[in-house]
């Protein structure tokens, strides 16, 4: 249940800020999704890498300059959008970032992305401009009120401009753009690495005896400069590919030209990507895989099904309702991809 009713949106803030001498006293962690996200992303993931010295061992050419990302998390607890950036506490300690999150239960995923991206960007800008803990609390409360008002008016205005991403045509356009930007067969290399490394999370996979598959990380080009569009189209693709119930984290770097996708339960090993540069973690399009003719034909057939509209992508996009139960509606495209990769 969401505090305050069906249209109540949530804004959470945690991490480091100069208004606190240590970690921020949690603000807005009122749902299981937000509590779980803080644990997996901040405590286990970021904290695990800091404690292990994973990023400190990288030289400057292998490590990004700072934390700077927008992300989408989908688990059984629901959908959360978030933003993180480098920060410090009141004593000047700066190893941990500051993080703000938004949850819009019951609203379409693309609408939530469209609303959350500018909302959380504003929260970051305003939090950077103050050293006051009281100001941060007021900023979070103001953002929550505005997002709740937008949620309450959902359906009375025009449809979300990102709604067009929920089509086969949008996925085909993405494939063509990646090839144009990254070189011929670049998108096929993405599908090949996805099929090779994430097959355990794909729909109708073959039994392999593993009961708890390890989460996998896939680095991708941004696709589009616009943050919301980039995050939306890669989320649409991944939600169409992964089996119902699979955890998904899509991290769009705000400082570098890539998107990191994590399929499966998130931990420190998977969130190494947050500060790993391209030399430490290359994009799938950078690797010259030896793809056989059978795979290339199957993948090309799948992409053609996007172009000719024979799959109902729009009907398969999960709704951001906070429960994670809506994943069962993604069957059409999943069956198409499973069949195309010979996993049906």
Burial (CB count within 10 angstroms: exposed 0-12, middle 13-18, buried 19+), residue 180: exposed
> With b meaning 16 or more CB within 10 Å and e meaning fewer, what string describes 39-54?
ebbbebbbbbbeeeeb
pLDDT 10s digits, 241-261: 788 778 999 999 999 999 999
pLDDT 10s digits, 50-87: 999 999 999 999 999 999 999 999 988 889 999 999 99
So what's the pLDDT on residue 87?
A: 98
Domain that holds residue 327: 1-344
Query: If you average pLDDT over residues 126-134, what whole number do you get?
Result: 98
Query: If you average pLDDT over residues 106-112, what whole number do you get?
Result: 87
Query: If you average pLDDT over residues 203-221, what whole number do you get?
Result: 71
pLDDT 10s digits, 4-54: 556 789 999 999 999 999 999 999 999 999 999 999 999 999 999 999 999
So what's the pLDDT on residue 15?
A: 98
Does the global pTM surpass 0.85? yes
pLDDT 10s digits, 303-313: 888 888 776 66
Domain count along the chain:
1
């Amino acid at each position: 249940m969401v505090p305050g009713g069906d249209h109540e949106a949530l804004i959470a803030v945690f991490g480091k800020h100069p208004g606190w001498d240590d970690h921020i006293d949690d603000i807005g962690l009122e749902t299981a999704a937000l509590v779980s996200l803080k644990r997996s992303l901040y405590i286990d993931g970021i904290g695990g890498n800091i404690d292990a010295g994973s990023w400190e061992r990288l030289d400057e050419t292998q490590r990004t300059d700072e934390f700077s990302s927008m992300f989408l998390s989908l688990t059984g607890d629901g959908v959360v959008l978030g933003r993180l950036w480098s920060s410090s506490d009141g004593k000047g300690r700066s190893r941990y970032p500051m993080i703000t999150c938004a949850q819009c239960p019951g609203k379409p995923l693309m609408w939530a992305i469209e609303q959350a991206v500018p909302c959380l960007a504003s929260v970051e800008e305003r939090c950077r401009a103050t050293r006051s803990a009281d100001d941060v609390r007021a900023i979070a409360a103001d953002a929550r009120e505005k997002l709740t008002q937008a949620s309450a008016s959902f359906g009375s205005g025009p449809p979300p401009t990102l709604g067009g991403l929920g089509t086969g045509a949008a996925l085909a356009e993405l494939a063509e753009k990646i090839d144009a930007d990254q070189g011929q067969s670049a998108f096929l290399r993405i599908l090949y690495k996805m099929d090779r490394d994430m097959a355990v999370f794909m729909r109708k996979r073959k039994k392999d005896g593993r009961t708890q598959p390890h989460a996998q990380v896939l680095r991708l080009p941004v696709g589009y400069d616009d943050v919301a569009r980039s995050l939306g189209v890669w989320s649409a693709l991944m939600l169409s590919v992964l089996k119902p119930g699979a955890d998904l984290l899509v991290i769009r770097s705000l400082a570098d030209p890539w998107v990191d996708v994590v399929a499966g339960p998130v931990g420190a090993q998977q969130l190494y990507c947050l500060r790993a540069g391209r030399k430490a973690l290359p994009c799938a399009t950078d690797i010259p895989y030896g793809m056989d003719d059978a795979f290339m034909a199957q993948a090309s057939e799948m992409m053609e099904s996007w172009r000719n509209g024979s799959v109902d992508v729009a009907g398969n996009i999960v709704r951001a309702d906070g429960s994670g139960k809506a994943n069962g509606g993604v069957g059409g495209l999943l069956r198409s991809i499973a069949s195309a990769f010979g996993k049906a």
